[in-house]
A and B are shown apart, each in its own frame.
Chain A
């Protein structure tokens, strides 16, 4: 089966068949969108919350808000409808307990921004696995809209389907 790998500050869309995956979400967030009717889906892997806060520097797909705009644009091009779309949200962990500066509490801010932006576009959030201390890897199945998530818990990899 075809697998599209999404990097950091990167996104991809597809239709009907194949897997879109992204590896090692730590404080980053992964957002999936799926339209059940047309089987169009997309995945964004964003590194930082709001583009404007960082002066809109560089690659727009690395920010949650501008990245989501790009994802929705391409999702629509393939025939996805944001009003029918179901969103799922993963990541936003706080990996290191020795980091306490508010500036680097990126995970929490990424999750908050993702929820706010989805709401702004009127997209329903139907599942999430966010926060905590561990990283996540996700595999998004375009034929079903289901997301297989791998997470490390006590040194072992566990799997969950959303």
Chain B
């Protein structure tokens, strides 16, 4: 039991003391996942899709609500477990969700004016494809199986949406890694996007895998 506590204490130190090399290695890994996610969505919809991860930051859980703002957003959420534990969110403001629904259903942007059941399921499908293929890329990279829950769509204040993931990570440390992505579909820029909150142990696993490969 003591041993477990010691390991947990180390996550916080580990997270706060990540060097630039480890950070860029992590960002690179998430970029590989993001580009795979874009390819898959593109193949399934015939649309031009581009997703990149420009960077990441280590932020205290306490300040996260201020950081992300309290706007109402639509989010597709999938929990990842087994080989990689973490929380993946595909987040859009409500206008972007309507556009996404149009694009997914092959209609000109502006056709959908309300987030009805049909629009919601189109958005959920887009989120599901993106997160699943991202997870598949990570799974290959880590050489481990990643389990996923079914997708769930919610419309709510963004910090409330992220709360459950923070509660999970908050069991181990007071800081979390916040990854944000940029996404373009058919030249249309989507704001907010994709937030991955990896479990501290899983982050360490990625870095160990990367560094192990280099030595």
Query: Do the two chains belong together in a single complex?
Result: yes
On A, residues with C-beta under 8 Å from B are 5, 7-10, 22-28, 47-48, 54-55, 57-59, 62, 93, 95-99, 104, 106, 133-137, 150, 152, 155, 157
On B, residues with C-beta under 8 Å from A are 5, 8-9, 12, 60-66, 70, 72, 77-79, 94, 115, 149-152, 154-164, 166-168, 170-174
Q: What are some 16 contacts across the A-B interface (CB < 8 A)?
A: A8-B62, A24-B160, A24-B162, A26-B157, A27-B163, A27-B164, A62-B61, A62-B174, A95-B154, A97-B152, A98-B77, A98-B150, A104-B167, A104-B168, A136-B160, A137-B160
Taking the closest CB of chain A, its distance from the CB of B164, in whole angstroms, is: 5
In-complex Cβ contact of A95 among B164, B168, B172 (8 A): B164
Docked pose: A68 CA to B155 CA in angstroms: 30
Most chain B Cβ neighbours within 10 Å, of A25, A58, A150: A58
The majority secondary structure among interface residues of chain A is loop
Taking the closest CB of chain B, its distance from the CB of A52, in whole angstroms, is: 12
By a CB distance below 8 angstroms, the chain B residues around A22 are: 65
Docked pose: A134 CA to B66 CA in angstroms: 19
Docked pose: A5 CA to B162 CA in angstroms: 18
| Contacts A9-B62, A24-B158, A95-B154; A48 near B170 (Cβ below 8 A) | yes
Most chain B Cβ neighbours within 10 Å, of A5, A8, A47, A48: A8
Docked pose: A28 CA to B62 CA in angstroms: 12
In-complex Cβ contact of A23 among B150, B159, B173 (8 A): B159
By a CB distance below 8 angstroms, the chain B residues around A27 are: 163-164, 167
By a CB distance below 8 angstroms, the chain B residues around A10 are: 62
The residue of chain A having its C-beta at the shortest distance from the C-beta of B61 within the complex is A8
By a CB distance below 8 angstroms, the chain A residues around B94 are: 155
* Residue pair A8, B77 in contact (C-beta under 8 Å): no
* Residue pair A134, B156 in contact (C-beta under 8 Å): yes
* Residue pair B166, A8 in contact (C-beta under 8 Å): yes
Docked pose: A96 CA to B156 CA in angstroms: 11
Taking the closest CB of chain A, its distance from the CB of B119, in whole angstroms, is: 11
* Residue pair B62, A95 in contact (C-beta under 8 Å): no
